[in-house]
Structure 1
Amino acid sequence: MSADQAIHPPDLDNSPKKRGRSRSGTRSGLERSSARLGWAFASPALLLVAAVTIFPIVFSLIMSFSNVNVTGDGFSLSGFTGHNFSIVFTSDLWQHAIVFTTLYTIVTVIVEIILGTAIALVLERLTASRGWMMALLLLPWAIITVISAQLWSYVYNGVYGVLNVVLSPLNGGHDINVLGGSFSATAAMAVADIWKTTPFVAIIALAGLVMLPGDIVEAARIDGANAWTIFWRVRLPLLRPTLSIAVLFRILQAFGLFDLPYVLTGGGPGDSTESLALLGWKVMFNDLKFGPGAAVAASTAGIVLIACLVFLKVFRSQVGSEETA
């Protein structure tokens, strides 16, 4: 053995631990490289989302806290003020719109959850024809809301509408204008909304039913539980997370109600079917009051955000209590 070998012995530590460290270092480098490559590919889509989604939201929020002056070339922002929100919060139109939108959202979402779950239970029992039924079920959901609203306006028309042709003989031959009354117009909008969005809830509920563990249901059946007890005590609690996701999405969609009242009623009769989204559009583009219109949009977004946070907190607490139990 030479003196150099005695002073600097060869590295004989070829243990699995060291090999693991080297592999880990190589793997972490590959992961960082893959992450950078992934961000590079995703950056155009992220920039597009920021341009069409985040920027308008931020600009609308800035506009709601600014003095907006309409000029011949457009509008200009000056100063910082909360006057726009004071105008909105003290307006009877805003108060009515928030009550109407909230009640409409609650009623339609509850009905859609019940009908969607029932349809999902039926589809679960189908075998060969399930694919065809799901395709037919998704047709209303695939139709653009403006187009479906226009189709329903033909049904509700007080002169040549299908509903008028069917019900007018029962009314002594007189025409029935469903969209002419406050309650009937709201009910007509709710029916059109439920017809379109119930398939969405049904598909989500069906996915949750398919993923449920079959051994738990079989054990309950062996213990003598009937179908009703199995659904309420076993399947529905296990299906709650899936239905909660459907409820969350439907709250977000229903609270932004705009297409149906815009096409069917225009917010009427009077302002009885005027939602928050439609009110903001009217204030901003009909009355050219951009500051208060932006304040209506910002208040709507804030209400939806608070409602979603409360819903998620309640959902997490329920799931945590079930897991500890």
Structure 2
Amino acid sequence: MADVVEQSSDPPIEPSGGGSTGLRARFRRYRELDLTEEELATVLLFPVVMFLLTVSFYPIVDTVWGSLHTGYVLEHETKQFVGLQNYEQILNSGRFWNALTVSLIYTFVSVPIELVIGIGMALLLNRAFKGKYFIQAAILFPWALPTVINARIWAWMFHGEYGVINDMLVKIGILESPYPFLAVPDAALASMLFVTIWKTSSFMALIMLAGLSGIPSHLYEAARMDGASKWRQFRDITLPLLKPTILVALIFRTLPAFQAFGLPYGLTGGGPAEATTTLVLYDHKLTFNSLAFGRGSAAATIITLIALLIALIYVGTLYEPEVS
């Protein structure tokens, strides 16, 4: 009996790569916007990647390249490669180490206090009471004010002769005569800390409030049925479940605090005697007042590396991967 040859009803498969037929088919799909998921993802991500390369990565690379040269930026000067000489000069500068000390004090004193105040405010605002949403909006007013405007307002309030704070303290008998808060190094730094805590504690409260809203209420109900006190509920339920939110809040506040510029610039100008000169303000003065663009780029690179190290420490300490 003759063999019967069965023929498949499926159309022949076009070659997918290399051949002209495959390329024509692919271009035809592109013209008709018939894209696979991978191709669509590539098309959508391409503008984002190009934007990041243009506004983020290129300036970083250019700054690092500039830190290895002298006479950089100024058109009438010739770029000269000096290697790590700019970094050596920065690390041997007493002004740099003073600015680093001020930045570390400013960051690691203000941020923990802001976090504690923010958690307390969030716990109060998480309750149901009349006018709750108005109060939530009102506490954000200090944070919503532009930093430089905030700094100028407080500079007048701390003024040694005309400031309202001196006037109030003298009237209630705490001070015998006006005190020059912004003219004494330690008092100026303490004043700057007070202003930043006043301004950004509400931002911390907003983030903590978002975290509290995500905690299931039945956990507290079960804890109350077991006789757990408010403190036990806070320690065993609220704090552990707020840990991811606390990590986000710390990163969002620590990095801007470490790179603070507007507040010291507007409040004290970095004085007196550079007692409130942060790293970024030091870098600004070095770059634009001294026109040392190479050393300024080196200082900016060092600041970026320190900020990255702080973020990595936070993530390594507080981050806990979810267990599925």
TM bucket, shorter chain:
0.7 to 0.9
Q: Offset of 1:303 from its aligned partner?
A: 0.7
Q: Offset of 1:46 from its aligned partner?
A: 4.8
Report how many aligned residue pairs link the two structures: 299
**Residues of 2 paired with 1:274 and 1:74: CA distance?**
30
Residue 314 (structure 1) aligned to one of 314, 317, 320: 317
**Equivalent runs, 1:89-238 vs 2, <5 Å:** 89-169=91-171, 170=173, 174-238=177-241
**Residues of 2 paired with 1:32 and 1:293: CA distance?**
43
Aligned identity (percent) is 34
Secondary structure in 2 matching 1:153: helix
Secondary structure in 1 matching 2:243: helix
Deviation string, structure 1 residues 213-253 (Cα, Å, up to 9, x no partner) = 22222211111111111101221111111011100111111
* Conserved? CA contact 1:167–1:176, under 8 Å: no
* Conserved? CA contact 2:66–2:72, under 8 Å: no
**Residues of 2 paired with 1:307 and 1:280: CA distance?**
19
Can you give the 5+ residue segments of structure 1 that lack an aligned partner in the other structure? 13-27
Secondary structure in 2 matching 1:176: coil
1:293 maps to 2:296: yes
Counterpart residue identity of residue 286, structure 1: N
- TM-score, normalised to structure 1, is 0.84
Residue 45 (structure 2) aligned to one of 39, 44, 54: 39
- Tell me which residue corresponds to 2:305: 302
1:51 maps to 2:54: yes
Cα RMSD of the aligned pairs, angstroms, is 2.5
Higher helix share: 1
Residue 85 (structure 1) aligned to one of 83, 87, 94: 87
**Which ranges of 4 or more aligned residues in structure 1 deviate by more than 6 Å?**
none
Distance 1:195 1:129, change over 3 A: same
Q: Offset of 1:151 from its aligned partner?
A: 1.2
Counterpart residue identity of residue 166, structure 2: N
Can you give the 5+ residue segments of structure 2 that lack an aligned partner in the other structure? 11-33
**Residues of 1 paired with 2:295 and 2:222: CA distance?**
59
Counterpart residue identity of residue 122, structure 1: L
* Conserved? CA contact 2:287–2:295, under 8 Å: yes
- TM-score, normalised to structure 2, is 0.85
* Conserved? CA contact 1:113–1:201, under 8 Å: yes
